[in-house]
Structure 1
Amino acid sequence: MKIETLVNLIGGELLNSPYISEVTSFTNEFEKANRGSCFFVKDSNDIEYAVKNGAYAIVSEKYENIIDNEIAWIKVDSIKQAVIDVFKYENLKTKIFFCDELTEHIIEKMNVNDNVIVLKSYEDLLRALNINNKFLITSDKKFSELFSNIEVLLSKKTDLEQLSLFKSRFQNVELNLPYVYKDEFSRALKFFEDNSLKFTLEFELERFKPVFVDYKLREVEYGESEKVLILGIKNDRFFFKELNYLIANTKHAKTLIVNEENQAVLKEGFNFAMLVDFDIDLNKEEEGSLF
């Protein structure tokens, strides 16, 4: 990108008359700055290192000390907005895949491709800027609004079997996937297969995550206790789907729904306890088991 184009695009103030005329990549990490990079400043202390690594342009929200007059020094009001403006310009024809938060989470866990980027922050926009033939995923509407070419991920019929409360089976492979997420898994699988992308089935979700504990709430090995905490649950639009699944699959067990206010009930006897909108510090000083 030509320096003149960059300055006009991000509404910047060019502070010098640089010798260089264009930049070829974008980053906000000085370790990744190289010959031709445009460096977006997070910390002024990083500028010297970015320049030594070959950065051709320094973009900052402050008037920085110009230590190399051959490269471009540009001041902007907002680094974040500058990144967004560059991203929109560079990706006018790029498609984005839009999905719900759980499908996004499963895609992120299954993904093994450097060119598949899940957009969650403006740093992700920067990573995506430097990748060709990229596949962009988001569940965040503010990112989907940057694109005109949007594809909503759809599900398909998938040969998924329920093995237990926390595990499923797909094509004879045991998955650490609660069957309640069968539709979200189907959408993730369809995304990878439709785009001829590699994926792994050896993944573990952070939501509906089982942690087996002893009577003192100390974590033990998987399956070595009759008490299970279910972590990563949020009181959002997926909660009642998860709650109904839990109730339907634990009819003969004592099951608790626990939040931060009533967490004292964990001192009582239970088999399954779903923790909603909070986490717990497990006592790991001693190893323990019910058996």
Structure 2
Amino acid sequence: MKIETLVNLIKGELLNRPFISEVTSFIKNADEVRRGSCFFSNDFNEIKQAIKNGAYGIVSEKEFEIIDKEIAWIKTDSIKKAIFDIFKYENIKTKIYYTDKITAHILKKMNLDKKVIVLEDEETMLRALNSTEKYLISFDPKFKEIFKNIEEIEKIEIKLEQLTLFKSRYENIELNLPFVYKDNFAAAVNFFKKNNLKYTLEFELERFKPVFVNGKFEKVEYGESEMVLILGIENDEYFFKELNFLIDNTKYAKTVVVGPYNKEDLNKFFHFAMIVDMEIELNQREERNLFD
């Protein structure tokens, strides 16, 4: 990308008259900088390292001493917005696959193909910018307004068997997949198969994630305790579906929903505790010797 185009695109201010005229990649990690890179940072030590590694352009929200006058020094109001504006410019005609955030999460966990990029933050947008052959996936509704070449990932019917609250079976393989996400998993499988992309069935989700604990709130092995914390739940559009699934499958157990407003309920008796919008700090399990 030409320096003049880059400066105009991000509405930046070119602080010098560089000898170089263009950059060939966009990087936020100094160790990944190579000859020709445009580097984004507000840390002067990182900037110096990037220049040693061959950066041709520096984009920052701050003004620093220009220690290399041959490369471009560009000031911007927001690195985050600058990266998005570059991404939008470079990918306005690229097909972007759109889905819900749970399907996107499953896709990310199943993915073994470097061409597949789930767009979550600046780092993933930069990966997309530096990739030629790519399958871009977004769960941000704003993308449907900005990008015209959007294809929604299709949910299909598959044969999936529920084994337990947290496990399912697909094609005779046991999965760490709560059955409540059957449709989301089906959409992910369809995407990989339809596009001949590499994926794995050995994955573990961060949402509806079971953590077995003992009475001292120490993490124990799967199935070692009757007390289970269900982590990664958010009070969003999927919450009631997950809650109903939990209630339907734990009718003979003590099940509670715990959030920041009723944390004390974790001190009471329960079998299953769905933790909503909250992080849990577990106690360290004591090491026991052979004679304990």
Q: Distance in 2 between matches of 1:143 and 1:107?
A: 18
State the 1:144 CA deviation. 4.3
Q: Distance in 2 between matches of 1:281 and 1:3?
A: 48
Q: Distance in 2 between matches of 1:258 and 1:61?
A: 41
The corresponding residue for 2:103 is 103
Q: Distance in 1 between matches of 2:193 and 2:181?
A: 18
Contact kept in structure 1, 2:10 and 2:86, CA below 8 Å: yes
The corresponding residue for 2:194 is 194
The corresponding residue for 1:39 is 39
Asked if residue 67 in structure 1 is aligned to residue 67 in structure 2, the reply is yes
Task: Summarize the Cα distance change of 1:77–1:267 in structure 2 as closer, same or farther, 3 Å threshold.
Answer: closer
Contact kept in structure 1, 2:26 and 2:130, CA below 8 Å: yes
Contact kept in structure 1, 2:59 and 2:73, CA below 8 Å: yes
The SS at the match of 2:132 is: coil
TM-score of the pair, normalised by structure 2:
0.92
Contact kept in structure 1, 2:14 and 2:73, CA below 8 Å: yes
The corresponding residue for 1:28 is 28
The one-letter amino acid paired with 1:271 is H
State the 1:129 CA deviation. 0.4
The one-letter amino acid paired with 2:52 is K
* 1:190-229 correspondence to structure 2 within 5 Å: 190-229=190-229
State the 1:11 CA deviation. 2.3
Structure 1: runs of 5+ lacking an equivalent = none
Q: Distance in 2 between matches of 1:112 and 1:222?
A: 26
Contact kept in structure 2, 1:155 and 1:187, CA below 8 Å: yes
Q: Distance in 2 between matches of 1:84 and 1:101?
A: 19
Q: Distance in 1 between matches of 2:279 and 2:67?
A: 48
The one-letter amino acid paired with 2:257 is I
Q: Distance in 2 between matches of 1:114 and 1:170?
A: 24
The corresponding residue for 2:137 is 137
State the 1:63 CA deviation. 2.6
* 1:39-188 correspondence to structure 2 within 5 Å: 39-188=39-188
Structure 2: runs of 5+ lacking an equivalent = none
Task: Summarize the Cα distance change of 1:244–1:45 in structure 2 as closer, same or farther, 3 Å threshold.
Answer: same
Q: Distance in 1 between matches of 2:184 and 2:127?
A: 26
Task: Summarize the Cα distance change of 1:42–1:116 in structure 2 as closer, same or farther, 3 Å threshold.
Answer: farther
Q: Distance in 2 between matches of 1:63 and 1:220?
A: 51
State the 1:287 CA deviation. 6.2
The corresponding residue for 1:284 is 284
The one-letter amino acid paired with 1:150 is I
State the 1:112 CA deviation. 1.4
State the 1:132 CA deviation. 1.0
Q: Distance in 1 between matches of 2:256 and 2:246?
A: 10
> Deviation digits for residues 42-87 of structure 1, max 9, x if unmatched?
3122111111111111122233211112222222232222222221
Contact kept in structure 2, 1:256 and 1:272, CA below 8 Å: yes
Aligned length: 288
Identify which range, 220-229 or 278-287, moves more after superposition: 278-287
Task: Summarize the Cα distance change of 1:258–1:62 in structure 2 as closer, same or farther, 3 Å threshold.
Answer: closer
Identify which range, 90-99 or 12-21, moves more after superposition: 12-21
Contact kept in structure 1, 2:42 and 2:62, CA below 8 Å: no
Q: Distance in 2 between matches of 1:287 and 1:250?
A: 32
The one-letter amino acid paired with 1:45 is N
The corresponding residue for 1:238 is 238
Q: Distance in 2 between matches of 1:173 and 1:199?
A: 14
> Deviation digits for residues 104-138 of structure 1, max 9, x if unmatched?
11111111122211112223211210011111112
Contact kept in structure 2, 1:231 and 1:275, CA below 8 Å: yes
State the 1:182 CA deviation. 0.2
> Deviation digits for residues 155-204 of structure 1, max 9, x if unmatched?
00111110111100000000000001001111111111111111111111
Contact kept in structure 2, 1:138 and 1:144, CA below 8 Å: no
Task: Summarize the Cα distance change of 1:268–1:83 in structure 2 as closer, same or farther, 3 Å threshold.
Answer: closer
The one-letter amino acid paired with 2:88 is K
Q: Distance in 2 between matches of 1:176 and 1:209?
A: 9
The one-letter amino acid paired with 2:201 is L
> Identity rate of aligned residues, in percent?
62
Task: Summarize the Cα distance change of 1:229–1:62 in structure 2 as closer, same or farther, 3 Å threshold.
Answer: closer
TM-score of the pair, normalised by structure 1:
0.93
Cα RMSD after superposing both structures:
1.7
Contact kept in structure 2, 1:119 and 1:143, CA below 8 Å: no
